[in-house]
Structure 1
């Protein structure tokens, strides 16, 4: 985000550079031009006054010598012409330029002329100025001068260079300050994004830094922290309620079971009484298992998530799982590639243990395969495939529902919460649990988990 902010700021700084440099450069060129024109116009006015005196005396020698000295000193050709445009003086004997002829029309009629253009570093090379000798209808002659602009253009280039250096230094300082300023601006955003990601993974202890950055972002961080506090408090109360209710139910259930067991000596010995007795005990066991499942779900929701190595986790658990499978004459194949993954609440070992336990208890398989690979999408895929009885296509969609049990296993121990809890904790960390049929028969459970570096 900081890089994008800098990329956005660069064009803005470039526009600012142009907005300052273009008017400033134009003003510099205009100031240099005005200074040159004013100086040469003053010189022309002085020569005009001298020309009136010289023309009245009829002696042009002193004025001609002054014209020659001026032309040599400033490299500026001068011409003196009367009202009939007769050339009275020229340093090199040539007539004025075409631009000078155009200016004579206004000057000889008593009008004042001015140079309205700007001398830029690339041109023009010369400018033409004209001044009348006399006033209004008393104009008897005119002076025309061709002023070179080389010195002005050089000075303008130099001033532009100084301007460019100053603006470049200013922009460099602005860019230098923009980096720490953007870091100051965006540090709360980074903390907020990190905290939001942690909360999304289930870590409700994470909080955004609310004492850094501009006031608006500090306020946003404080609002986020209050929201997380509210969510955490609500979840904590819900979990505490479930835990308390489960604990409170355990004692009455245990007392009820003991009371039912104590009724055994008083049965009349008939088959119907024995069946009712066993049904009552089975109902008590199912209710106890249900309460235990609620406690398990509550504890798993409260457990933080973490990143762990798949190979290290399975290395510690695989041997015990093989023993459990061997006791039921089931072959367990474990083939996983190592990777760091985000573990669901309660741990990945708990999730896999629940899936393996379901397969052993409900599917009556001969072989179970546990495989794990990093997918092309940058995720980690774990599959638990058995060759047992499996489920139908419709049951694949129902199996992750709360309290759902297949009609074929209603008489087996279980609460219908295990797979639902597993699906929930996997989803909470950004993963996904799906069911599909194993080729050749059986059930395959697919876990799609995010990698730790994602």
Structure 2
């Protein structure tokens, strides 16, 4: 904010000071030229009739009155009479303004009649008598007064510039706050909106008019996007609800056909029932995803250990026929701030994926850890794991890895990630210690137990 006033003062103040200094020089030159013309009548008498006493008296009077010195040259450039300037008569005759006057030039252009030499201002005026050039009157004036005037001009401009800069510096901070405050509001609202808070809006009465228009435009855009997202979520939810009844009816009809199906058609019936079950699973997942993204459910304290132990006990029934062991370990009571059912559903997704990928005879580990801010539920399997590019896409909707072999809907991890985001948490996928997949849910901690944990415990334990 200060650079702009400095540039403005420099661009405006410097030319102004130069212009005023040049005007002072021209004014002094004009005054000396007028005085030289007044001496030209006496110079005519001296040059034409040899009456030098009158000329000397006029030159002496001029010197006493103005402090300047005058000298007269004849048409050949030879000194006739006058007071000595700082330059000798021969040096004075060689000055451009004197030589121009000896050529009879009557121009008022300062570059021909005015020259700075030895700290003097030299003005030369041709003397004309009977239409003929008879000589030149040269006036020499010290530049002390001119320099004082020029320094005064520069001092005044400098003071004005300093006052302008001081005023701009004093006003810069409140002006910057006035301009940037709506920008900060806009940035914060954009971040919240990008994070999923579609209710984020910007005040429209702050800042310059252009920023107010920008705020109104952002709010209008946010309302349009929010409306479209709401319509999309409503469509997914309504469509899922409407399709569940036909699918249930279709399954019942297929089951009722079983007694009437020939033995060689039983395989096809089983495949049809499997597709119906798969479609039902996708619809249930879409409903769960729509509820997770609605963000309308109340947050409460969740006993993570109790939920995890209950879900592990249920999934052990699935793991035992495949000779897979599911273990759970962790310290203390873990309480998270989340919507009821979040930990259950996310852990179900983790365990479902782990048991489908883990080889027989392996172990699936569920770990519960906590630090001062977060509670983590980790699920580590000994399966083939995922490549880094697969882990980057694993939470996309309907994405399935190359090893899925047609299993699953591709919505499990997407639902888990949406549930985590809705609770100010996140899902982390990384390579497990044995090359399998390490899936982790992190949620904000809640309760007195977290205050007793030392910072960094979560990261240290998760790496163990």
Same fold (TM over 0.5): yes
**Aligned-residue CA RMSD in angstroms?**
5.6
Residue aligned with 2:110, SS: coil
Aligned residue pairs, count: 415
In 2, Cα distance between equivalents of 1:350 and 1:323: 9
Does 1:332 pair with 2:328?
yes
Relative distance call for 1:123 and 1:185 in structure 2 (3 A) is farther
Conserved 8 A contact 1:371-1:383:
yes
2:33 aligned counterpart, secondary structure = helix
CA deviations over 1:424-443 (Å, ceiling 9, x no partner): 5668999675464x344653
State the match for 1:162 in structure 2: 156
Stretch deviating more after TM superposition (21-30 or 242-251): 242-251
CA contact (8 A) 1:332 1:368 kept: yes
CA deviations on 1:217-243 (whole Å, 9 max, x unpaired) are 444433333333233223223323343
Classify 1:385/1:47 alpha carbon distance in 2 versus 1 (closer, same or farther; 3 Å). Answer: same
Is 2:235 the partner of 1:241?
Answer: yes
Alpha-carbon spacing, 1:213–1:105, altered in 2? closer, same or farther (3 Å): closer
> How do residues 378-397 of structure 1 correspond to structure 2 at under 5 angstroms?
384-387=378-381
Deviations 1:97-142 (A, max 9, x none): 523345555545644365624999x986112223344435455443
Aligned partners of 1:393, 1:230: CA distance in 2, in Å? 38
Using the TM superposition, give the Cα deviation of residue 33 of structure 1 relative to its aligned residue in structure 2, in angstroms: 1.2
Q: Deviation string for 1:152-194 (max 9, x for gaps)?
A: 1110111122123224433544565555555444444433332
Counterpart pick for 1:24 among 16, 19, 34: 16
Structure 2 unaligned spans of 5+ = 260-266, 317-324, 444-464
Displacement, 1:27? Answer: 1.9
Is it true that 1:80 corresponds to 2:76 in the alignment? no
Unaligned runs of 5+ in 1: 1-5, 268-274, 375-379, 450-454
- Give the Cα separation in 1 of the matches to 2:113 and 2:176: 43
Cα distance in 1 for residues equivalent to 2:175 and 2:345: 46
Q: C-alpha displacement at 1:332, in angstroms?
A: 2.8
Q: 2:91 aligns with which of 90, 98, 110?
A: 98
From 199, 210, 216, the equivalent of 1:205 is 199
Question: Residues 250 and 383 from structure 1, CA distance in 2 versus in 1: closer, same or farther, beyond 3 angstroms?
Answer: closer
Residues 11-59 of structure 1, C-alpha deviation per residue, up to 9 Å, x if partnerless? x555543432343223212211121112212222222223445677865
> Structure 1: how far apart are the matches of 2:380 and 2:92?
102
Residue from 6, 27, 37 that aligns with 1:45 = 37
Question: What is the CA–CA distance in structure 2 between the aligned matches of 1:422 and 1:57, rounded to whole Å?
Answer: 118
Contact 1:119 1:149 in 2 (8 A): no
Which residue among 62, 80, 94 is the counterpart of 1:70?
62
CA distance in 2, matches of 1:407, 1:26: 81
Partner of residue 294, structure 1? 286
Contact 2:47 2:74 in 1 (8 A): no
Which secondary structure does the structure 1 equivalent of 2:158 belong to? helix
Q: Is the contact made by 2:351 and 2:379 (CA closer than 8 Å) also made in structure 1?
A: no
1:80 deviates by 3.0
1:317 aligns with 2:304: yes
